């Protein structure tokens, strides 16, 4: 599986091998081990970049959702906002909750 020389492999080829699911244990020679270690480092770097790109979007979406909820509650009547969110269907409670919607 790992018969190609390290000089012939580029980073793109190494990433391609990663995508094919080649395991480090299947390669036996020292040269192959060096190729696989480079390959895993590239894979880790790729994953870090994906996390860095995704994390701010998640935070932004959570922040946006809380702002939207605050706007809905500030424009609607307070009791309507809480009755809709806090009291489950079929409940006998008729009084609205005093808790804020996003707590």
Q: What is the pLDDT of residues 37-51, one digit of tens each?
A: 777 777 778 877 777
Neighbours of 36 (CB within 10 A): 20
pLDDT in tens, 48-77: 777 777 666 666 776 777 766 666 665 555
**Domain boundaries, given as residue ranges, for the chain:** 34-85
- pLDDT of res. 50: 74
| Size (the chain), residues | 103
Per the listing, tokens 């996390």 go with: 51
Phi, psi of 13 (to 5 degrees): -65, -40
**Run of H or E including 16:** helix 11-20
The band of 91, judged by pLDDT with boundaries at 50, 70 and 90, is low
């Amino acid at each position: 599986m790992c018969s190609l020389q390290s000089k012939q492999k580029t980073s793109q080829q190494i990433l391609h091998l990663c995508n094919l699911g080649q395991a480090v244990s299947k390669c036996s020679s020292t040269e192959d081990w060096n190729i696989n270690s480079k390959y895993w480092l590239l894979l880790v770097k790729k994953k870090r970049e994906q996390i860095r790109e995704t994390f701010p979007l998640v935070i932004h979406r959570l922040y946006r959702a809380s702002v939207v909820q605050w706007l809905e509650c500030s424009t609607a009547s307070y009791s309507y906002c809480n009755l809709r969110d806090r009291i489950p269907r079929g409940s006998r409670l008729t009084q609205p909750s005093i808790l804020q919607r996003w707590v």
